[in-house]
Amino acid sequence: MKVRFGEIPDEGLRFEIKDESWFPDHELQRSGPVLAIVVLKRNGVDRVLLEGKIKTTLAFDCDRCLENYSMELDSSFKLDLEYAAGHRLDSAEHEVSPAEMDMIYLEEPMVDVFEILSQQIFLMVPGKHLCSESCKGLCPRCGANLNEEACDCKQELKSSPFAILKKVQP
């Protein structure tokens, strides 16, 4: 869904998006419906403020114990968009001001809402997928899930290459 800057009235536009066609199903697995709410407000001739919220449930495999788990995702975001009119997107070097650091520059005065939602969903997903912070993982010897059972494997202490440093006098 693309919205031109000129189509946004002074009072703004609000969309409640239940259409899931923008969701990156080929990269993330959903276990529930997706709801996105987007509000577009003009901020001058060439600027738009986009505020949004995404709510869904995602399914992951835990990085420690490999068990499948679900994670509720309910997060908000806010973006400043500016039509760059070609002069800011060139390859010439210039010092970036603090205000420019938080700005997203567009090549045309149009907001691709579905593209922004797709990007935001990836920013909301944690880098490490854990079923719980206290997940014990798998035993490296027998593969037992240590959250469900204790194994009888002996934890063998390997000598560290830094053990020699204990002998050094300060």
Q: What is the pLDDT of residues 116-164, one digit of tens each?
A: 999 999 999 999 999 999 999 998 888 889 999 888 887 665 677 887 8
Question: What was the pLDDT predicted at 58?
Answer: 93
pTM of this structure: 0.75
Query: 170 in a domain, yes or no?
Result: no
Query: 163 in a domain, yes or no?
Result: no
Query: 160 in a domain, yes or no?
Result: no
Query: 67 in a domain, yes or no?
Result: yes
First and final C-alpha spacing in the chain: 67
Q: How many domains does the chain have?
A: 1
Question: What was the pLDDT predicted at 92?
Answer: 66
Buried b (16+ CB within 10 A) or exposed e, 43-69: eeeeebebebebebebebebebbeeeb
Which structural domain range is residue 88 located in?
2-153
Question: What was the pLDDT predicted at 170?
Answer: 67
Residues in the chain: 170
Q: What is the mean pLDDT of each run of 10 residues along the chain (170 residues)?
A: 88 90 89 92 88 94 93 92 67 68 84 92 92 91 88 72 78
Query: 105 in a domain, yes or no?
Result: yes
